[in-house]
Structure 1
Amino acid sequence: MTTRHTDAPARRGRGRPRGPGGEATAATRERIVAAAAELFAERGFHATPMTAVAEASGLSQSGLLHHFPTKDGLLAEVLRERDVRDLAMLATARDHAPRGWEVWDDMTRLVRLNSDRAAIVRLFTSLAGEAVDPDHPGHGWLGEHHRSAVDALARALHDAVADGTADPAVPAESLARQAVALMDGLQVQWLMRPAEVDMAGDFASFVDAVRTRWTP
């Protein structure tokens, strides 16, 4: 859906074991996640057995399960890694942290990027539908994913107000929630009717309308 304009990469690293053993564990987990992402994209989540992920990762089945006991948990990590990579990709567009309307422009770029990767969008929508259950392994990730996106967009509008590029009356939190809801909803419609739904164009039109309405 979206990426995080926060300190996500720094937070993600907390709690990892340090030293040679910890580095080896982190490298193994990264290798598993990379293999799973490729296989899930090629074959689909449900059609990919954990044995295939273990083989692609160069591990035994028990070795894989030591790091990721469930396939749902592995999928959640694949999507978390996507968030981090998306953030890194967007950061290459400029030599400073995005602020104000730039954050909204970055979201538009992200939706356009997603238009070229149906497999990962399908994975996200599938997980999102199941992860509303508090007992689902991806529940915490989904909540943080949405919360961070809304927070980033709302904070960007507050920054725009401070910079004089947005009306002080802008309903920042409401518009941020609408934007995230629109991204998720467009993804489902686009997956159902890819030839008819211009996901990137529709989201860009929404952002343009918000900017036009709330720019002084």
Structure 2
Amino acid sequence: MATTDSAQRSGELARTKIIEVAFEHFARHGYKGSSLARIAADAEISQSGLLHHFRTKQALLQAVLATRDLRDMAVTGTGLDELSAMDFDRLLSFFEDVVRHNVTNRPMIRLAHLAAAEADGPDHPAYEWVTGRQRFLRSLIEAALERDIAAGAVRPDIDPRAMTSLLIATMDGLESQWLLEADLDTVASFTYFTAWLRASVEPAG
């Protein structure tokens, strides 16, 4: 039993190290520019050892992206049920917290943007992750706006779909600019935008 437990812990540690190293490689070189041989070498494991944990490069990328999502949720301390129940104002505050966190983790943002740039079709292993993330964000924001319109907390003439597109485009666009210009104050820019957004949707009177 002790030997089995020790082997299991050793396997978990090896898997964790591979994901950490792969995270850096995919964030720096993208999926196409990364190789299992280089990842294995930096993780101090043989390539066959790496393939024992992740049978393909596609499987490794998907594990890295899943780890990224788990870390995002852990940092915010917000569960999916709580997130789905937020009104639009609280959701904007949540996104402000996310932006503040993101500027402390450049590799995490690079990974997401490289994955989105490369995943140009269903044959790419990150395609489902990229499109799923977009669908989730869209449904989250649109649902909050629709609930607030029904409750009278948001102007009835606001188009939830158009407002959602504007919000997502601003978050992604600021991150893209920041990846090119590290001194860009994305937090200040985004909070300026959300203040304008709150004022824009507020009912008259």
Q: Relative to 1, partners in 2 of residues 1:140 and 1:29: Cα closer, same or farther, differing over 3 Å?
A: farther
Check 1:200–1:141 CA distance in 2 against 1; reply closer, same or farther (3 A cut): same
Which residue in 1 is equivalent to 2:123?
135
1:114 and 1:178 mapped to 2: Cα distance?
A: 19
Question: Bigger CA drift: 127-136 or 47-56?
Answer: 47-56
Give the structure 2 partner of residue 104 of structure 1. 92
Verify: 1:184 aligned to 2:172, yes or no.
yes
What displacement does 1:107 show? Answer: 1.0
Match of residue 207 from structure 1: 194
Equivalent AA in structure 1 for residue 28 of structure 2: G
Q: Is the radius of gyration larger for structure 1 or structure 2?
A: 2
CA 1:145–1:29: 2 relative to 1, 3 Å: farther
Asked if 1 retains the 8 angstrom alpha-carbon contact of 2:61 and 2:125, the reply is no
Alignment equivalent of 1:83, drawn from 69, 74, 78: 69
Distance 2:56 2:64 in 1: 13
Could you report, residue by residue, the CA deviation over 1:161-196 in whole angstroms, capped at 9, with x for unpaired residues? 34442223321121112211222221111111122x
Length, aligned pairs only: 189
Q: Secondary structure of the equivalent of 2:82?
A: coil
CA RMSD of aligned residues (A): 3.2
1:30, CA displacement in angstroms?
5.3
Task: Note the residue ranges of structure 2 that are not aligned, 5 or more in a row.
Answer: none
Alignment match, 1:116? 104
Kindly state the Cα deviation for residue 52 of structure 1 after the two structures are TM-superposed. 5.5
* Cα distance in structure 2, aligned partners of 1:86 and 1:50: 25
Instruction: Assess if the C-alpha contact under 8 Å between 2:99 and 2:186 holds in 1.
Output: yes
For residues 154 and 182 of structure 2, the distance between their equivalents in structure 1, rounded to whole angstroms, comes to 34
Q: What stretches of structure 1 of length at least 5 have no aligned partner?
A: 1-19
Residues 1:199 and 1:120: Cα distance change in structure 2 (over 3 Å) = same
Q: TM-score, normalised by structure 2?
A: 0.75
Pairwise CA distance, 1:109: 1.2
Query: What code does the residue aligned with 2:147 have?
Result: D
Is the contact made by 2:25 and 2:39 (CA closer than 8 Å) also made in structure 1?
no
| Equivalence for 1:153 | 141
Structure 1 residue 68 displacement after superposition = 2.9
| Contact 1:31–1:57 (Cα < 8 Å) also in 2 | yes
Distance 1:143 1:168, change over 3 A: same
Seq. identity, %: 30
> What corresponds to 2:28 in structure 1?
44
Which residue does 2:19 correspond to in 1? 33
